[in-house]
């Protein structure tokens, strides 16, 4: 991954912007893959991942291709590139139980991994998962994507005025068109998702419509599904006011998956 002078990742001293992993000295039976959203970086999900690690799980947080550098770099990447990177990160977690957590586009990628790799994905935590746009917005993207290279950024939809998300301030339209094409595969195969799912959604989201989460819930075949709706945050659920509640719900879900025989999911040994 190229990091030119002036690249997005150069705006922070936090090395986690390039992607990171956390491993325990004693290998737990459960690992968690955490995926960031479109035009963002691993910093948008870093606190989420750290909570999973603090709860006893190993974590893997990749920087997806075209992210953390420049908008032009992102526009040269596609859904297939991001999916391949997510699959490679999944393969680095050779644990007995592997969960995938993702926000926005990361949620869509998590669903695709569950569809394609049911042997390796044992549960999903989805925060405002992106699998569709409003019809008018999709039409605009498809038309403008042929004639315009950029439009205003989609990241940074936060209710908390003090919160920030490091992301591109413009949207690479060719990459977004590729993402919407990838969503068609996700929606087509939703019935293949049989893993337990925790879906965390903002009541008000100015980026991904509620219809996206409804489509996920209506399409999956999972016997165990929970949905939690938050009123204190906008789209950037893992960086906004409800983040602590989101993290706590995610850890509870992960503990139940790691130790399904215990009602509270509390581990007696490594998670």
d(CA 143, CA 138): 9
**What's the gap between Cα 189 and its chain centre?**
18
Angle between helices 173-188 and 105-116 (to 10 degrees): 40
Pairing of strands 197-202, 225-230: parallel
* 19 close to 106: Cβ distance less than 8 angstroms: no
**Annotated catalytic residue, options 205, 239, 240, 242:** 205
**Annotated catalytic residue, options 67, 122, 235, 259:** 235
**Annotated catalytic residue, options 44, 104, 213, 239:** 104
Q: In the annotation, is 205 catalytic?
A: yes
**Which are the catalytic amino acids?**
104, 205, 235
């Amino acid at each position: 991954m190229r990091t030119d002078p002036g690249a997005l990742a150069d705006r922070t001293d936090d090395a986690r912007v390039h992607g990171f992993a956390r491993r325990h000295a004693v290998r737990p039976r459960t690992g968690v893959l955490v995926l960031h959203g479109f035009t963002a970086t691993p910093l948008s999900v870093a606190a989420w991942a750290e909570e999973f690690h603090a709860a006893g799980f190993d974590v893997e947080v990749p920087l997806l291709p075209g992210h953390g550098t420049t908008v032009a770099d992102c526009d040269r990447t596609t859904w297939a590139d991001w999916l391949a990177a997510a699959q490679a990160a999944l393969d680095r977690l050779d644990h007995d139980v592997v969960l995938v957590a993702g926000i926005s586009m990361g949620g869509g990628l998590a669903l695709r991994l569950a569809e394609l790799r049911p042997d390796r994905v044992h549960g999903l935590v989805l925060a405002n998962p992106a699998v569709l746009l409003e019809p008018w917005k999709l039409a605009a993207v498809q038309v403008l994507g042929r004639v315009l290279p950029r439009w205003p950024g989609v990241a940074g939809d936060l209710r908390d005025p003090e919160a920030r998300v490091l992301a591109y301030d413009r949207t690479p339209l060719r990459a977004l068109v590729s993402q919407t094409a990838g969503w068609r595969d996700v929606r087509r195969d939703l019935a293949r998702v049989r893993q337990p799912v925790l879906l965390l959604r903002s009541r008000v989201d100015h980026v991904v419509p509620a219809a996206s989460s409804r489509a996920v819930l209506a399409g999956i075949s999972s016997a165990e599904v929970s949905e939690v709706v938050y009123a204190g945050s906008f789209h950037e659920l893992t960086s906004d006011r409800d983040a602590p509640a989101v993290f706590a719900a995610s850890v509870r879900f992960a503990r139940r998956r790691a130790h399904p025989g215990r009602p509270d999911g509390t581990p007696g040994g490594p998670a």
